[in-house]
Structure 1
Amino acid sequence: MGFQQGLTGLNASSKNLDVIGHNIANSQTVGFKASRTEFAEMVATAIGSAGGSNAGIGVQVDAIAQQFTQGNISITGNNLDVAINGNGFFQVRQPDGSMAYTRAGNFKLDDKGNVITNSMAQLMGYPVDPLTGQRSASSPVPLVFPTGAPIPARQTENIVVAMNLDARAPDAAGSAGPPPVPATPRSAYGTSVNVYDSQGVAVPVSLYFEKTADPNKWAIYTTLDETIQAPGSSTDFLEFDGNGALVSGSPFTLTVDPAQVNPNAGPTPPNAPNPFPVTIDLSKATQFGTKFAISDLTQDGYTAGQLTGINISPDGTILTRYSNGVSRPEGQIALASFRNTQGLADVGNNLWVETFSSGQPVMGTPTDGNFGALRSGALEDSNVDLTGELVAMMTAQRAYQANAQTIKTQDQVMSTLVNLR
């Protein structure tokens, strides 16, 4: 009888409409992956039956398979929105401590500095040493940023100066002539930079350079006092060769005493910052016949600072900006891939969890191996083709009507048989 075939067709078409409706409902869901209904025929079999003599008894839903194709990437401008362009899933730790995976990168910061999803799952990544930029752990951990407290101050350790000293400059001491050459003020060739002590207090450091009687040699001073020359670890002079390249005098170590910043401040208070050494690198100094110029002057210390912004690079490195002007890496987003993505279990909230069928996750970082790159300030759209789904819905509707018609026809046949006299 044809009732069985019609009933299975109705059930299969109904489930197909459910899947299509779910796709359409999530056509605007970030990171959503469309599903499709896969059917299989049902056949009544018997041992020893001849080939081709088995009667079909209908259809069944063999699988509902998600399609992990790439969705379009839309620009949002929000720095905490992240899209994966290519392979991989974000790994997140759910509130119950279990791991899940998502393609939705619409992340937020909570009041504790955790990077979270809308369902309060924490984004996983690798911690990074902010001073070296190197990963400091081999396993992903929840990413946390200092939103509640400032980053601590860092004491200056190095100063780098790139400059040109004018090869045409006369001996700074001058001469009686003839013709007479006036003395050159020490301030004519000088610069200064603020360094920071252990408490993040700025301490000015000045450097002055005086041409000596040797045309390729310059004396280094740290004050305008005529009697004090810079204490060098090996030399107090910069010496250049005939081509204007530096041959000696760099680097040297200068001891900075925060208590000497303001000599009129009175006695040094208890527990004041101690004097500290600063290495001054002048290896980029040159002596050419052009005017004195400082092309680069940097130091590596800073005062305390509050978090003001976050940027995410294509390789997942998270660069944080602070109110003290410092930008530094604080972490790197982790990505996961699976041997069989079709085996992942969909648990809602744009999350999947691993199963035996999917295999264990292979962890890595964006742009590493077969992992895709990240796009900050953007989100991956749903991969639902709305036009295709609407056409599929009409087709499924016709299939449902046709299966209902087979039941109606079978009922008419049965009615004819019952009414035979």
Structure 2
Amino acid sequence: MAFNTGLSGLRAASVDLDVTGNNIANASTVGFKSSRAQFGDLYASGFLSAGTNPIGDGVRVQDIRQNFGQGNISFTDNGLDLAINGDGFFVLNNGGEIRYSRAGQFGVDVDGYVVNNQNMRVQGFQADDDGNLSGIRGDLRIDTANLAPRRTTSLETDVNLDSREEVLESQVSVLADVGQAEVGGTSFPAELVTVTYSDGSTQSVQIPAGSSAAEVVDILGQMEGVSASATTEVTLTGLDDAFIAVGGFDFQLELEGVSIPVDTTGVTDLASLADAINNSAASTVSASIVGGALRVVDNRGNTITTTYSNTATTVGPQTQLGTVRLQTERTVTDLSSDTGTFGTAWDGRTLQVTNSFNPLDQRTYNHATSTTIYDSLGNPHVLTQFYVKDPAPGNGVGQSQWSIYLQIDGEYVGGTDLSPYEARFDQDGTLQTVNGDPAGEIVIADWTPKDPSGAPNGADGPPPAGATVVTPIPEPPTSSAFVLNLADTTQYGSAFGVNDQRQNGYTTGRLSGLDVSDEGVLFARYTNGQSQALGQVALASFNNTDGLSPVGETTWVETFESGQPIVGQPGTGTLGSIKASSVEESNVDLSEELVNLIIAQRNYQANAKTIETSDTITQTIINLR
């Protein structure tokens, strides 16, 4: 009996030594959980054999139980190193076999899958192309392809328009046109033009005799508050297809007395003659057919002289003087001249104060803000919103109104070149309607994306004529139409400010980095400033964690005793959170294990002593004979 008792003790102490040695060996193994040997005593007993003073038969190892307590979390330099802070296990796919682990030393294999050091793939919840997470579980994979561009279909603008702003009084005044009919000749006469300002001051310029319209424009433009432009237009009514068809046709064009060569080779009618003029070196001249006659226009007001002939007739030279258009600012109260040419044209005109919008003149709008939007190819474009305060509608009590002009890359959109959108606010500064729409939405359906040269760039353009554009724009979009939402715009008595401005488009981007959130979501960062969810790490828990069976490589597998896994998202239910760039260290306490090692050694020695003593007694009995 003593031999068996001592032998069972040796076996138990040996197991204890093995368990302790295994713990010490894995003291630095990431995700390792320490074990301890659990023992039970042995008694021989039967139906009628149990005595009042039974003697034990020794000891046996009942179980090797692991301690699944939390290990310390330490930081690393690898962004895909993950630690679980709390309960749960990583779910790993080992060639179809599902394993569970607390060791989060992960990387990426050649195919982009997130794997551990044994190439077991990490399981997680998949994300679609737009980064929306689903409940579908599979192998986590990092897509290194470029992020495809997304066109802008929605732009939300939240601004405050300063209610204290005044309705702008523009600098635009009445126009005065002076042309050949007024001067009665082929040039402007000598004339002293004087401008009087609202403060009583004056300024004068001298127009020399024989000046052309273009020269007059340059001279008048020297006066403050005065701008001038000129065009020269001549319609050659005596020239038609029949005149050209006679043969020997020739056409001569002069600007300010300088001959401009026009190649009439191949000219057979007015249309081909107009093309020849347009292809000449006169960059300021254009020719077109209007009402069956040839019209020649110089957009700078240069004096045009034409001569044309065939084998039978020569017409000309004919000289046409340009028309000067004069425009003044509000500060100008009068214009006079010593000969009356410009003074007469100005007489009888009354000063007109309007609010004429000009995107190039900051004095014609109260506020403006710009944001970048994107076409279907991912090309950026600048959308600018201009806000102009209007006179209050009705009697001005309880409501106010602003006009909204829109431009993309300097070109009007939304039809605002013809009619701006009207935003109305109530007495509380809350937006009521935009063009009667209480939702505050503006649908832009006339935008054609263009390249820097002004030509269409190949991206999707406006929807077909007659097509109905609904909001929000359905996915996938098929045109350049987008919605500008102004529902949060206010009109308070404070300075103009852009509170928020967001749009849903972006250009293409390359993968630049990865981030992992506390919820285990893998975010890809791209060079275009976007980030997109690629998936979410899945965690599993068990009703009886102690029932898991260790299979090496710091992994466990499900058993009947553990129960089936409960798989969910980190941070939900009893599952812990994820710490990125971190690993969970072994929960082995070396000090405790070294003490256990001493105890196991003493136990082994003591059981060996039991066998030795029993052997001595047995030998004494044998020696009695």
> What TM-score, normalized by structure 2, do the two folds share?
0.61
Matched, 1:143 2:143: no
Opposite residue 169 of structure 1, the aligned amino acid is E
Q: How does 1:25-44 map to 2 (within 5 A)?
A: 25-44=25-44
What code does the residue aligned with 2:421 have? D
- Measure the CA separation in 2 of the matches of 1:46 and 1:195: 88
2:158 paired residue among 159, 162, 177 = 162
Letter in 2 for 1:301: G
Say which of 427, 432, 443 aligns to 1:253: 443
Change (3 A) 1:63 1:278: same
* Bigger Rg, structure 1 or 2: 2
> Residue 406 in 1 paired to residue 610 in 2?
yes
Deviations 1:170-222 (Å, cap 9, x if unpaired)?
32353889997896535652222221122212122222122222372121112
Report how far residue 378 of structure 1 moved: 2.3
* Alpha carbons of structure 1 residues 224 and 281: separation in structure 2 relative to 1, 3 Å: closer
Cα distance in 2 for residues equivalent to 1:238 and 1:134: 36
1:387 shift after superposition: 0.9
Which residue number corresponds to residue 421 of structure 2?
A: 236
Identity over aligned pairs, percent: 40
**Structure 1 counterpart of 2:88:** 88
Counterparts of residues 257-406 of structure 1 (less than 5 Å): 257-265=447-455, 268=456, 272-275=459-462, 276-406=480-610
- CA distance, structure 1, for counterparts of residue 56 and residue 589 of structure 2: 33
Q: Match of 2:402?
A: 218
Q: Is the 8 A contact 1:335 1:363 kept in 2?
A: yes
Q: Which moved more, 1:166-175 or 1:297-306?
A: 166-175
Greater displacement, 138-147 / 25-34: 138-147
The aligned amino acid for 2:542 is F
**1:344–1:357 contact (8 Å) kept in structure 2:** yes
Letter in 2 for 1:135: L
- The answer (yes or no) to whether the contact 1:186–1:208 under 8 Å persists in 2 is no
Structure 2 counterpart SS, 1:397: helix
Indicate how the Cα distance of structure 1 residues 333 and 32 shifts in structure 2: closer, same or farther if over 3 A, else same: same
Equivalent position of 1:124 in the other structure:
123
In structure 2, the partner of 1:204 is: 382
Q: Using a 3 Å threshold, how does the CA distance of structure 1 residues 328 and 272 change in structure 2: closer, same or farther?
A: closer
Deviations 1:365-400 (A, max 9, x none): 122122222222322221111111110110000001
CA distance in 2, matches of 1:46, 1:297: 85
Structure 1 runs of 4+ off > 4 angstroms? 175-184, 224-229
Look up the SS of the partner of 1:389 in the other structure.
helix
* Within-5 A mapping of 1:21-100: 21-52=21-52, 54-76=54-76, 78-94=78-94, 96-100=95-99
Q: CA deviation at 1:164?
A: 1.8
Q: Distance in 2 between the 1:359 and 1:317 partners?
A: 27
The range that moved more, 120-129 or 22-31, is 120-129
- How far residue 272 of structure 1 moved from its aligned partner, in angstroms, is 4.2
Give, in angstroms, the shift of residue 402 of structure 1.
0.7
Whether the 8 Å CA contact 1:40–1:59 is kept in 2: the answer is yes
Query: Secondary structure in 2 aligned to 1:69?
Result: coil
CA deviation digits over 1:285-311, x for unaligned, max 9?
A: 222233322232221111222222222
Pair 1:60–1:150, CA change in 2 (3 A): same
Counterpart-to-counterpart distance in 1, 2:119 and 2:365? 59
**Farther-moved stretch of structure 1 (14-23 vs 306-315):** 306-315
| CA distance, structure 2, for counterparts of residue 310 and residue 187 of structure 1 | 45
Alignment of 1:97-108 (within 5 A): 97-108=96-107
Q: Per-residue deviation at 1:258?
A: 4.8
**Alpha-carbon deviation of 1:261?**
4.1
Q: 1:186 to 1:350 in 2, by over 3 A?
A: farther
Greater mean deviation of Cα atoms: 334-343 or 67-76: 67-76
Kept after mapping to 2: 8 A contact 1:220/1:230: no
1:172/1:408 CA distance change after superposition, 3 Å: same
Distance 1:226 1:10 in 2: 92
Residue 384 of structure 2 aligns with an amino acid whose one-letter code is S
Change over 3 Å in CA distance of 1:199–1:55 after alignment to 2: same
Residues in 1 aligned to 2:574 and 2:159: alpha-carbon distance in whole angstroms: 45
Checking the alignment, whether the CA contact within 8 Å between 1:204 and 1:261 is kept in structure 2 is no
Kept in 2: contact 1:163–1:293 (CA 8 A) = yes
1:224–1:352 Cα change, 3 Å: closer
- Cα deviation, residue 227, structure 1: 10
Secondary structure in 1 matching 2:45 = coil
**Residue range with higher mean Cα deviation, 73-82 or 379-388:** 73-82
AA matched with 2:552? G
Using the alignment, how far apart are the partners of 2:48 and 2:411 within structure 1? Answer: 114
State the distance in 2 between where 1:191 and 1:285 align. Answer: 13
Looking at structure 2, the residues matched to 71 and 420 of structure 1 have their Cα atoms a distance apart, in angstroms, of: 61
Question: Aligned partners of 1:19, 1:71: CA distance in 2, in Å?
Answer: 19
Structure 2 contact 376–459 (Cα < 8 Å) conserved: no
Worse overlay, 305-314 or 339-348: 305-314
Preserved CA contact (<8 Å) 2:425 2:431:
yes
Q: Mind listing any 5+ residue stretches in structure 1 that lack a counterpart?
A: none
CA distance in 2, matches of 1:225, 1:73: 53
Shift of 1:346: 0.4
Residues 197/38 of structure 1: CA separation in 2 closer, same or farther (3 Å cut): same
Amino acid in the other structure paired with 1:338: F
Instruction: Return the offset for 1:264.
Output: 4.1
In structure 2, how many angstroms separate the alpha carbons of the residues matched to 1:225 and 1:262?
A: 9
For structure 2, which runs of at least 5 residues remain unmatched after alignment? 174-197, 200-329, 332-352, 356-361, 435-439, 463-479
8 Å CA contact 2:444–2:482 kept in 1: the answer is yes
Task: Provide the rounded CA distance (Å) in 2 between the counterparts of 1:110 and 1:225.
Answer: 45
8 Å contact kept, 1:91–1:100: yes
Secondary structure of the structure 1 residue equivalent to 2:11? helix
CA distance in 1, matches of 2:624, 2:364: 126
**Contact (CA 8 Å) 1:186, 1:209: kept in 2 or not?**
no
